[in-house]
Amino acid sequence: MAQNEFSSIFENYPNASRDSLIPLLQDIQEAQGYLSREAVIAVGEHLSLPASKIYGVATFYNQFSFEPQGKYHIQVCRGTACHVRGSLATLDAVERELGIKAGSTSRDGLFSLEVVACIGACGLAPVISINGEFYAGATGDKIKDIIDIYRRKAAQNESE
Amino acid sequence: MINIEVNKRTIEAKEGETILTALKRAGIIVPTLCHMEDFAPTGACRICVVEVEGRPGLIPSCAYPVEPGMKIQTHSPKVVRARKTIIELLLADHPDDCLYCVRNGNCELQTLAEEHGVRERRYSGGRIFKNVDTSSMSIVRDPDKCILCGRCVRVCEETQGVSALDFINRGSQAIVGTAFNEGLNVSSCINCGQCIMVCPTGALREQSHLKSVIDALNDPNKTVVVQHAPSVSVTVAEEFGMKPGQDFCGVMTAALRALGFDFVFDTSFSADLTIMEEGSELVHRLTNGGVLPMMTSCSPGWVKFVEQFYPEFLPNVSSCKSPQQMMGAVIKSFFAEKKELDPKNIFSVSLMPCTAKKFEAQRPEMEDIEGFPDVDAVLTTRELARLIKLYHLDINALEPDAADNPFGQRSSAGKLFGASGGVMEAAIRSAHFLVTGKEMTDIKVKEIRGFDGIKETSVKIGDLTLNVAAVSGLGNAHKILQAIKKGEKDLHFIEVMSCPGGCINGGGQPLGTDIEAVKERMMALYKIDRDESLQCSHLNPEITRIYEEYLKKPLGEKSHHLLHTEYEKRDSIK
Ligand code: SF4
Ligand code: SF4
Ligand code: SF4
Ligand code: FES
């Protein structure tokens, strides 16, 4: 990835200091979909901070992902309403079904998993979203069926 | 001064200081884990808590200033219970590995558990990673034994200016690790081992070379040769319970013979050799418009630091190999020829205060044309002590012995290499002779002695005024290099040692020492220099001999091939 990709983002943060770290990382994640190594190192250079520090800060927050998103990006809502209605079990089920942890991407590149604070669909709790499509009442026991829909889609695409 | 009351006794405290500092001065001990002398407190571990009358809860003494009239209890039942619980929670995530652990008997966590009478596992955290990082040639990391005190992170960042380590992830997944959780070998780590020196547990240790050394000692076809670095003889005694600052050279030599080493050489001899080469290089640069300031190259952590962070200064770094590598090179050439030994059958060991020396010995630049390394194995002072203990040698029963020729004789200038400023002092003594043909009248250069991180002075050598600096701790190296870049410094020669105070405080030295101990070690080296008569490298008769018989002249063809090298820009995650 060319350094220029970040330059336009860095331009918004002239004389940047450590305080700009999180917003900067957010902007890059927005643009790239994740934080690549190159991005982490470039941010370090821009802010004169070591890569270990950037990585440390970025891994402290759930919102950052260090792998490109999968073909299907799953967001599990962990807002209060969803929590009360069992979103922890939902998250658990997704992690087990895909064999990955939140913030990572399955090895075949099909699914990536993100935990979000509140999707703003509390009426549907517990809710997950896959590529922007919402699934209401997505309790742990429903997860396999939902994910299978996308597995079938992927298989179909491939055979076409 | 103000008065505070501690355990019903009145003690004096200085305004603004922490409770912990006041307690320490009064001889009242409170345990600590995350606390580091001369670093700002983080208050992370809370093992140092005390009870203060009128305050709810317990207060971390390392982070709180004293107040007049404060009433403190350091060991009330509430305090002791809280500390014990903290320890039990740390142990919840800790493997029961003491018997197999390099820190067994020398571990702060183990000691705390023992002192607080922890007799059962009350909590089980199950935080097991099982991913020991052995990728580095110098340092082994075992995150399972890490208690997240943060001391390594701080020393790496604040003392060394390297920041190879930081806290990663959070909550139950939090660890101390490198950027992208990669192996230490691809990180910016410069292998100094200062993180090991501050780690309270076995989470950080050196890559051990003991096995290969023991194998060689038991191989009838190998001639096993050992060299010991200038600082090792003044620190190894501490591993046997003796107080800091004793020179153990003779007894250590006897121990090495008893262990079965065939020849014992003194790295201070090759320090003298370094001075001949480096002194000549300096004179050459000064008189031929060479790149200045010249910078020393004997500290391998520093060399890697320049390669990674300041490649633009590589032309300033002396082309001389370090004393360890010079000794290795002349052992497998000059010495091998003299003794009619096949270099293949020589196993060359060095005893070093340093973990970065392990990395240095394995650099591809440090091989001869046939691909044999100059040095085959590097043991730290700690590993040497383990070897002596393994063979149950009675240190008190050994008669002091002298090193072997041809590399056994040294000047006290060579010995000074063990302390920050020592290379500079030795170099000045010989450069004076090289330039003027005369000896200095007062050979002691006291401005560059002592423990300061940056020491500068000017010395007159004939018509020449030489501006020099001795720097130790790589955080200070950052400072001086930045100043040079800005054109704020007019220096000719800079000595840089990676570890604060130099090799006497190296990452391979005995653990659990404080700054006072390190100063005692330094004094021991100064005492040797004061008391001995051979005080200049160029006056060492064995140095004269190796040039006459073999090398011919400093910077000559043989020297160039054996004793000099080149360094290159290096990529790392930084
Ligand atoms: S680090 Fe300390 S407590 Fe842990 S296994 Fe080693 S000796 Fe025991
Ligand atoms: S060896 Fe030195 S540079 Fe490497 S992690 Fe430890 S303190 Fe940092
Ligand atoms: S590795 Fe050692 S020094 Fe570093 S945080 Fe862990 S226990 Fe503390
Ligand atoms: S030593 Fe005081 S909080 Fe850790």
Q: What is the CATH number of the domain that holds A151?
A: 3.40.30.10
Q: Are residues A55 and A79 in the same domain?
A: no
Bond preceding residue B406 cis, omega within 30 of 0: yes
Question: Which residues on chain A are in Cβ contact (under 8 Å) with B169?
Answer: 59-60
Searching chain A, which residue's CA lies closest to the CA of residue B177?
A52
Looking at the structure, do residues A15 and A88 belong to the same domain, yes or no?
no
3-state secondary structure of B53: coil
Tokens coding B325: 């590598």
**Residue A40 Cα, gap to closest chain B Cα (Å):** 9
Q: How many CB atoms lie within 10 A of CB B456?
A: 16
β-bridge pairing A72-77 and B59-60? unpaired
- CB-CB neighbours of B57 under 10 Å: 9
C-alpha closest to that of B387 among B515, B138, B564, B208: B208
Residue closest by Cα to atom 6 of ligand 3:
B146
What residues in B contact A44, CB-CB < 8 Å?
Answer: 574
Q: Answer whether B74 contacts ligand 3 (Cβ < 6 A).
A: no
Query: Model confidence at A63, in pLDDT bands (50, 70, 90)?
Result: confident
Flag whether A130 is in a domain. Answer: yes
Domain count, chain A: 2
Distance from CA of A67 to the nearest CA of B (A): 11
A53 touches chain B (CB under 8 A): yes
Question: Are A17 and A50 in the same domain?
Answer: yes
Give the N- to C-terminal CA distance of chain A in Å, as an integer. Answer: 31
CATH number (domain holding residue A51): 1.10.10.1590
- Ranges in chain B annotated CATH 3.10.20.740: 2-89
Q: Is the pLDDT of residue A2 over 50?
A: no
State which residues form the domain around A93: 72-159
Select from B234, B148, B213 the least CA-distant residue to B506: B234
Residue A66, domain member (yes or no): no
Closest alpha carbon within chain B to A37: B180
CA distance linking residue B429 with residue B424, whole number of Å? 9
Say yes or no: A129 and A76 in one domain.
yes
Q: Give me the mean pLDDT over the B271-289 stretch.
A: 96
Residues A77 and A153 in one domain: yes
Q: Where in chain B is the domain with CATH 3.40.50.1780?
A: 211-563
Asked whether the predicted pLDDT for residue A1 surpasses 60, the reply is: no
- Token couple for B335: 């010495």
Please report which ligand is nearest the Cα atom of B93. 1
Per the CB < 8 Å rule, is B573 touching A41?
yes
B100 class by beta-carbon count within 10 Å (0-12 exposed, 13-18 middle, 19+ buried): exposed
- Which of B21, B47, B58 for mutating ligand 4's site (highest number of atoms within 8 Å of CB)? B47
Point out the least confidently predicted range of B96-110, B115-129, B529-543, B549-563. Answer: B115-129
Supply the mean pLDDT for chain B.
96
Q: Are residues A149 and A91 in the same domain?
A: yes
Average pLDDT for residues A73-89, to the nearest whole number?
93
What mean pLDDT comes out for the span B293-302?
98
Hey, what amino acid is at B120? E
- Residue among A18, A35, A52 with most chain B CBs within 10 A, to mutate: A52
Ligand 4 atom with the smallest distance to the CA of B34 is 4
Contacts of A60 in chain B (CB under 8 A): 167, 169-170
Confidence of residue B134 (pLDDT cuts 50, 70, 90): very high
Nearest CA in chain B to A45: B574
Distance (Å) from CA B144 to ligand 1 centroid: 10
Tokens of B153: 């992170």
Cα–Cα distance, B400 to A30 (Å, whole number): 70
Q: Is A95 within 8 Å of chain B by CB?
A: no
Strand order in the sheet with A111-116: A111-116, A72-77, A128-130, A133-135
* B498, amino acid identity: S
Q: What residues of B are annotated to the active site?
A: 278, 281, 298, 318, 357, 360, 365, 503
Q: Do B166 and A55 touch (CB under 8 A)?
A: yes
The answer on pLDDT for B417 being more than 50 is yes
C-alpha to C-alpha distances, B148 to B171, B174, B364, B532, nearest whole angstrom:
11, 8, 35, 47
Instruction: Quote the tokens at residue B418.
Output: 């063990």
HSE, side-chain direction, 13 A CA sphere, residue B177: 25
Residue A6: pLDDT over 60 = yes
CB atoms within 10 A of CB B79: 20
A5 compared with B17, residue with greater pLDDT: B17
Q: What is the DSSP string of B35-98?
A: --TTS-----S-TTEEEETT-SS-EETTT-B--TT-EEESS-HHHHHHHHHHHHHHHHTS-S-G
In this prediction, residue A159 carries a pLDDT of 79
Quick one: what percent of chain B has pLDDT higher than 70?
100
| Residues of chain B contacting A43 with CB distance shorter than 8 Å | none
Interchain contact, A60 vs B170, CB within 8 Å:
yes
Candidates 1.10.30.50, 3.40.50.300, 3.50.50.60, 3.40.50.1780; CATH matching B211-563: 3.40.50.1780
Whole-angstrom distance, CA of residue A40 vs CA of residue A46: 10
Q: Dihedral of CA B375/B381/B385/B386: which sign? A: negative
- What is the number of the ligand 4 atom nearest to the C-alpha of B46? 3
Ligand 2 site residues (CB inside 6 A) read B 139, 155-156, 160, 162, 164-165, 189-195
Helix (H) or strand (E) holding B561: helix B557-563
Say whether both A87 and A150 belong to one domain.
Answer: yes
Same domain, A76 and A155: yes
Do residue A52 and residue A104 come from a single domain?
no
Instruction: Output the CA B17–ligand 4 centroid distance in Å.
Output: 15
The sign one gets for the Cα dihedral B331, B332, B338, B342 is positive
**B475 Cα: distance to centroid of ligand 1 (angstroms):** 30
The full length of chain B comes to 574
Q: Which of B133, B153, B166 to mutate to test the interface with A (most CBs of A within 10 A)?
A: B166
Decide: B225 and B346 in contact? Cβ < 8 Å. Answer: yes
A·B CB contacts under 8 A: 47
Q: Nearest ligand, CA of residue B83?
A: 4
Q: Write the pLDDT tens digit of every residue in B369-404.
A: 778 899 999 999 999 999 999 999 999 999 999 999
Cα angle, residue B324 at apex, residues B231 and B253 outer, rounded to 5°: 55
Average pLDDT of the segment spanning B2-9: 96
Mean pLDDT of A111-128: 90
What atom in ligand 2 is closest to the CA of residue B162?
A: 3
Asked if the structure places residue A65 within a domain, the reply is no
Does residue B64 contact residue B41 with C-beta atoms inside 8 Å?
no
For domain B2-89, which CATH number applies: 3.60.40.10, 3.40.1080.10, 3.10.20.740, 3.30.70.100? 3.10.20.740
Let me know whether A89 and A137 are in one domain: yes
Interface touch A40/B188, C-beta < 8 Å: no
Q: Is any atom of ligand 3 closer than 6 Å to the C-beta of B475?
A: no
Pocket test residue of B101, B111, B127 for ligand 1, highest count of atoms within 8 A of CB? B101
Output the CA B250–ligand 3 centroid distance in Å: 36
Residue whose entry in the numeric block shows the structure tokens 């060689």: B216
B191, B309, B379, B475 from B301: Cα distances, Å: 6, 12, 16, 12
**DSSP conformational letter for B246:** -
How much is the ipTM here?
0.90
My answer on whether A81 and A152 are in the same domain is yes
Task: Yes or no: say if B427 and B279 are a contact pair by the CB < 8 Å rule.
Answer: yes
A148 & A101 share domain? yes
Per-residue pLDDT, A4 = 61
Residue A67 lies in a domain: no
Residue nearest to atom 2 of ligand 3 (CA): B199
